[in-house]
Structure 1
Amino acid sequence: MSDTQIPDAPDSARRTADGGHHDAGDNGYSKQLKPRHMSMIAIGGAIGTGLFLGAGGRLAETGPSLALAYAICGIFAVLIVRALGELVVHRPSSGAFVSYAREFMGEKGAYTAGWLYFLLWAVTGIADITAAATYAHFWSAFTSVPQWTLALIALCVVLATNLISVKYFGEMEFWFSVVKVSALVIFMGVSVFLIATRHPIDGHTPGLGSITGHGGLFPSGVLPMMLVMQGVVFAYAGLELSAVAAGETANARSVVPKALNSIMWRIGVFYVGSLVLLSLLLPHTAYSAGQSPFVTVFAKLGVPGAAGIMNLVVLTAALSSLNSGLYSTGRILRSMAMAGSAPRFTARMNKGKVPYGGILLTASFGVLGVVMNYFVPTEAFDIVLNFASFCILATWGMIMLCSLLFWRRSQRGLVHRPVYRLPWAPYSQIVTLLFLLAVLVLMCADGGVGTRTAMAMPVVAAALVGGWFLTRRRVAAIAAGGRRPGDGHAAGAAELPAGTAGDSDRER
């Protein structure tokens, strides 16, 4: 094999003596995440900035039909997570879908999936610190503090806590999720009471009149509801976090399915249910892009301190999302670095077995978010949201392609599908891919920020192609035997476990 020839076929993946795939990026992690951590991480991944902050502006734009958009996108989000869950049960890996792309699509597929996912969380981190700074301005003590300063503080605090150990990450996400879920449960309980008793809110009586008396289900027409789906897709980013965390929990094959099985009702209750209640409580014109809709309700309700408490909750959600992004990209980048397609320093781990190199690389992009909050504080969230929407569409597309290829290999008898699987394959994968393509087209057709984001996609594609040509020699060298000509140990690679060959051809 020449030093630039990269094995792309599935048979080129490294395999253990029993024929299973092995990813060197899975070595070195501690198994400190417990079932309760995994369960709450799965819940927390489904509740983030896209709901707590982004829903305000989208409600004002599309009205009650936003709940329908969330329901439609939620169905496909469930299919994607179910497909990813099947792959996790097939083989748990901290590299998650990047590792699966390597197994079924070769190194080019892993490279593409990994860097798109990195871009997703890099720009989502910008959205999160922007949201955190926006929430902080709710309190009078912070109104005089520049938004970029608050964004910088949020980034530094979360970065510091993320670098300790996976155990602390799990505990932090556990309690973040407890706070978010508890707040939503309380909100929904209070909302049902207000609607049932028709208790006035800022002079308005909640109920169906909030919908029928203000333009109906589609006050601005059907098209705005369709166009807003790009932002709705962003709200579901994070559902794949459980798959990344699977590599750091014991008994992942039994723990992960239990954590993922409840996603359907979580989406129905927390997302769709909350939006229906918000639409019944107040007219859609009462909400705005600059404030969380949950805070709007409690502020207009006039309960002393209620709005401040809810604002603290949504601030927690933003910090939780940022924490999750740093965690997941650190693991993804390490998986790529061990294969040679990411910078070598991203493979480094500290004494707490945390891949700090990848975490620091992702956090460095947060500095860009601080700059954006300095120059364009009012547009920063919308700009990065649209770019992140493209990245999550691409990431989900890669997941479904891996699932489809896995299904095809199972039909050839090369792998066995586990009991926990994506139903209705291969139609589920095909329909989901068509849906993601339709959302991408809608994003390109949308005016303003959406169109400008679409115009940036060729730049992203060119960067990916250029990066591949810069790294392909190192990838080929590691795939051929773990060393790059003229270098020492390649890419910080760890020794493979006993029984693992340098490439599959030796085993086969």
Structure 2
Amino acid sequence: MAEEDVSKYYDEKEEALTRGMKTRHLTMIAIGGAIGSGLFIGAGDVLTTAGPLGAVIGYIVGGMIMYAAMLSLGEMAVAMPISGSFQAYASKFISPMAGYATGWLYWLNWGTSGAAALVASAMIMHAWFPMVQDWVWCLVFSGGLTLLNLLPVGNFGEAEFWFAGIKVAAILCFIVVGVMIIFGFVPHQAGTLAGFKTFYADGWFPNGLTSVFLAMVTVSVAFQGTELVGIAAGESKNPERNVPRAIKQVGFRIFLFYILSTIVLAMIIPYKEAGLSQSPFAQIFSFANIPYAYNIMNFVIITACLSLINSSLYACSRLLWSMSHEGLAPKFLGKTNRHMVPIYGVFITLALMLMALLIKFFGAEKIILMIMNASGLIGCLIWAMIGAAHLGFRRYYVKHGGDPDKLKFRVILHPVIPIFCLAANLIIVFSMYFDPTQRTVFYSGVACVVVIILTYLFFVKGRKTDFHLNR
């Protein structure tokens, strides 16, 4: 079977969506998806938990897991550039139940995360403009981004390009300022320990080696979002060229941003003083006596929140659209507007965000908090599914006469890469159970998975689904 035969799966279905994504869009979508509060705020928590060297090691390992997932996803996305991406691959190459669970868990996870981002951005705006209530900002941001996502897909790509550009600029400025503090090029308030001594002031691993494993959940959450490039591949103008370029550029850049940022943090802020109470990035800018440091970082964090909401509306609507064509979601979710955008998928995702907000504002927030707490676990499960689907894809491809050497984007170290992706993410998931501080997260994630699987068994299993590679 030649590779072009694989594309027969999506030829008919993909006519409903427009291919309007450029290489720079794909690259910045992947970069922007992985740069957010997980780095700007979460890096401080990783530093406190794992210590300076442990934080660096944690982000190196997390970067390796991230890149393994991107490589596995990239091979499938080039061969089958469909908007359902990893959800559709899980349906075909693992099982329909796996695809159903992957799609709905991802929708639930990103929808509630979008609600959290709305709240965070509204709180910052309220601090700047106290006369305007939080709910007004929530409506302004959600309404504006919903309208953006109803326009041709190129507008989403362009918005994400600039959102990501702001975040990348903030990281580069942070690294430059941090290096200047470390080498004494600028007057600062970081204290006498700014420099390499901070790494070993309290020992290489002040909380023990196990602390590195405990920090991996936060680390993995920080990298999650890069898989958006697989979804966007379904609307890329030239996926065979653009997807490999994006993956090669993104993997190195994200890896570099995270590692350099963590090293700078660890060399300036003593690990005991880092945490979630404030952004360590704002601390560094403040140490360098940069005016309005916290307001600058708050602007960057708002940008990250808007990027997350924007990506949530985009990614979730595409997965719902894909599942509707497979018989795993209501058919009306497969309808598109005149711009070939899954209009009802956008609206149903917006409804989830607003429902989560209403539940929070009315105080009955335990269910929403449970889902939000499970974000890291669900994200790791999605990446594990990508590894498993890649193994299944190669088996199917070879079984039907395909030559892996003829794949336009081939993972060289197969099956090592997908096995590593699958195993590493499952290890992170199950390690949560053995950490008392993460056990609630583990139970929340398991509860979400069980509920989704039960809905499949009771309402979907046995119904006709439509997922074939060759029509």
TM-score w.r.t. structure 2 length? 0.89
Deviation sequence 1:301-341 (CA, Å, 0-9, x none): 33212332232112101211221121011111101001211
Of 6, 19, 43 in structure 2, the residue corresponding to residue 55 of structure 1 is: 43
Q: CA deviation at 1:148?
A: 6.2
Q: Distance in 2 between matches of 1:79 and 1:292?
A: 29
Q: Which residue of 2 aligns with 1:263?
A: 250
Find the residue that maps to 2:464 and give its secondary structure. helix
- Cα pair 1:198 1:207 within 8 Å, conserved: no
Unaligned 5+ runs, structure 1: 1-10, 480-502
Q: Distance in 2 between matches of 1:306 and 1:25?
A: 49
Unaligned 5+ runs, structure 2: none
The question of 1:116 aligning with 2:105 is answered: yes
Q: Which moved more, 1:71-80 or 1:464-473?
A: 464-473
The question of 1:329 aligning with 2:316 is answered: yes
Of 15, 25, 44 in structure 2, the residue corresponding to residue 27 of structure 1 is: 15
Q: Give the counterpart letter for 1:38 in structure 2.
A: L
Q: Give the counterpart letter for 1:93 in structure 2.
A: I
The question of 1:397 aligning with 2:379 is answered: no
The question of 1:91 aligning with 2:83 is answered: no
Q: CA deviation at 1:225?
A: 2.4
TM-score w.r.t. structure 1 length? 0.83
Q: CA deviation at 1:409?
A: 2.9
Of 382, 401, 417 in structure 2, the residue corresponding to residue 414 of structure 1 is: 401
- Cα pair 1:50 1:234 within 8 Å, conserved: yes
Q: Which moved more, 1:254-263 or 1:215-224?
A: 215-224
The question of 1:352 aligning with 2:339 is answered: yes
Q: CA deviation at 1:381?
A: 10
Structure-to-structure mapping, 1:56-455, within 5 angstroms = 56-64=44-52, 65-133=54-122, 135-136=124-125, 139-142=127-130, 150-151=137-138, 153-197=140-184, 199=186, 201-202=188-189, 204-205=191-192, 206-213=194-201, 215-371=202-358, 373-374=360-361, 385-417=372-404, 418-448=407-437, 450-455=439-444
Q: Which residue of 1 aligns with 2:27?
A: 39
Q: CA deviation at 1:106?
A: 4.4
Find the residue that maps to 1:288 and give its secondary structure. coil
- Cα pair 2:7 2:469 within 8 Å, conserved: no
Q: Distance in 2 between matches of 1:283 and 1:382?
A: 31
Q: Give the counterpart letter for 2:409 in structure 1.
A: Y
Deviation sequence 1:427-480 (CA, Å, 0-9, x none): 22223322112111111222245425425514532332323431345534x57x
Deviation sequence 1:151-175 (CA, Å, 0-9, x none): 5554333333222221210110111
Q: Give the counterpart letter for 1:123 in structure 2.
A: T
Q: Distance in 1 between matches of 2:360 and 2:282?
A: 22
Q: Which residue of 2 aligns with 1:484?
A: none
Find the residue that maps to 2:206 and give its secondary structure. coil
Q: Distance in 1 between matches of 2:275 and 2:366?
A: 14
- Cα pair 1:125 1:322 within 8 Å, conserved: yes
Q: 1:247 to 1:419 in 2, by over 3 A?
A: closer
- Cα pair 1:26 1:95 within 8 Å, conserved: no
- Cα pair 1:33 1:250 within 8 Å, conserved: yes
Q: 1:98 to 1:218 in 2, by over 3 A?
A: same
Q: 1:61 to 1:374 in 2, by over 3 A?
A: farther
- Cα pair 1:79 1:422 within 8 Å, conserved: no
Q: Distance in 2 between matches of 1:388 and 1:59?
A: 20
Find the residue that maps to 1:270 and give its secondary structure. helix
Deviation sequence 1:342-382 (CA, Å, 0-9, x none): 12232121222211211222222222442465477999998
For these two proteins, the number of residue pairs brought into alignment is: 466
Q: Distance in 2 between matches of 1:368 and 1:63?
A: 39
Q: 1:148 to 1:71 in 2, by over 3 A?
A: farther
Q: 1:158 to 1:62 in 2, by over 3 A?
A: farther
Deviation sequence 1:245-264 (CA, Å, 0-9, x none): 11112111111100100233
Q: 1:459 to 1:391 in 2, by over 3 A?
A: closer
Q: Identity, % of aligned pairs?
A: 32
Q: Distance in 1 between matches of 2:366 and 2:37?
A: 16
Q: Give the counterpart letter for 1:102 in structure 2.
A: S
Q: Distance in 2 between matches of 1:149 and 1:216?
A: 48
Structure-to-structure mapping, 1:5-16, within 5 angstroms = none
Q: 1:452 to 1:265 in 2, by over 3 A?
A: closer
Q: 1:363 to 1:224 in 2, by over 3 A?
A: farther
Q: Which residue of 2 aligns with 1:495?
A: none
Q: 1:311 to 1:18 in 2, by over 3 A?
A: closer
Q: Which moved more, 1:306-315 or 1:248-257?
A: 306-315
Q: 1:504 to 1:156 in 2, by over 3 A?
A: closer
Q: Distance in 2 between matches of 1:354 and 1:448?
A: 42
Q: 1:354 to 1:305 in 2, by over 3 A?
A: same
- Cα pair 1:49 1:131 within 8 Å, conserved: no
Deviation sequence 1:387-436 (CA, Å, 0-9, x none): 11111111111111111112223443533331422232112222332211
Q: Distance in 1 between matches of 2:43 and 2:298?
A: 14
- Cα pair 1:45 1:237 within 8 Å, conserved: yes
Deviation sequence 1:21-80 (CA, Å, 0-9, x none): 414542311122122212222222231221122223333333322222111011011011
Could you say which structure has the larger radius of gyration?
Answer: 1
Q: Distance in 2 between matches of 1:17 and 1:120?
A: 34
Q: 1:147 to 1:224 in 2, by over 3 A?
A: farther
- Cα pair 2:388 2:418 within 8 Å, conserved: yes
Find the residue that maps to 1:228 and give its secondary structure. helix
Deviation sequence 1:120-169 (CA, Å, 0-9, x none): 312322342344245446x4534x86666655554333333222221210
- Cα pair 2:27 2:249 within 8 Å, conserved: no
